[in-house]
């Protein structure tokens, strides 16, 4: 009886310790969600993302669906260094035959450069949609 009590007590203690350890890491999420519709668009758009928290993870996902024309997406860090790009384009554009092209880029960077990150959307007679989803997950680790 005493032995099983000790076993249960130890298991419970271990469980509580592990639960406490896990809760020492809390995550706060700041999110940005943008939908940009492109209707025969040829003007470059710039979207700024503010990274202002230290000890965080930069999560950026840009998705573009193009049904006509072309779209180029470029991502720059606060120092102006290109961190990623892609372009999607359609050749056929008519009422009868329509093609769709998808492009998606995901960037996950731990402890990135702080400041304004820049996303350039460079369309050329583009028909479609660009979706930008951004979160910065702040990881706070308690000392106790």
Residues that bind other proteins (CB under 8 A): 54-55, 61, 81-92, 99-114
Using alpha carbons, select from 54, 57, 49, 55 the residue that is nearest to residue 32.
Answer: 49
| Helical (H) or strand (E) element with 5 | helix 2-23
CB of 113 to other proteins, least distance (A): 5
Distance CA 101, CA 62 (A): 14
Distance CA 70, CA 88 (A): 6
Q: Which of residues 30 and 86 has its CB atom nearest to other proteins in the complex?
A: 86
CB of 143 to other proteins, least distance (A): 16
Q: Which of residues 13 and 111 has its CB atom nearest to other proteins in the complex?
A: 111
CB of 50 to other proteins, least distance (A): 16
Q: Which of residues 15 and 116 has its CB atom nearest to other proteins in the complex?
A: 116
Q: Which of residues 47 and 56 has its CB atom nearest to other proteins in the complex?
A: 56
Q: Environment class of residue 53 by beta-carbon count within 10 Å: exposed (0-12), middle (13-18) or buried (19+)? A: middle
């Amino acid at each position: 009886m005493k032995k099983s009590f000790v076993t249960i007590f130890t298991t419970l203690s271990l469980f509580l310790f592990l639960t406490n350890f896990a809760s020492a890491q809390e995550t706060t999420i700041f999110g940005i969600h943008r939908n940009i519709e492109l209707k025969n668009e040829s003007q470059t758009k710039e979207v700024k993302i503010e990274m202002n928290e230290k000890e965080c993870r930069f999560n950026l996902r840009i998705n573009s669906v193009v049904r006509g024309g072309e779209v180029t997406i470029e991502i720059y860090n606060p120092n102006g260094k290109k961190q990623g790009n892609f372009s999607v384009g359609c050749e056929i554009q008519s009422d009868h035959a329509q093609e769709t092209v998808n492009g998606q880029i995901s960037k996950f960077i731990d402890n990135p450069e702080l400041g304004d990150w820049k996303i350039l959307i460079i369309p050329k007679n583009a028909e479609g949609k660009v979706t930008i989803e951004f979160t910065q997950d702040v990881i706070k680790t308690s000392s106790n």
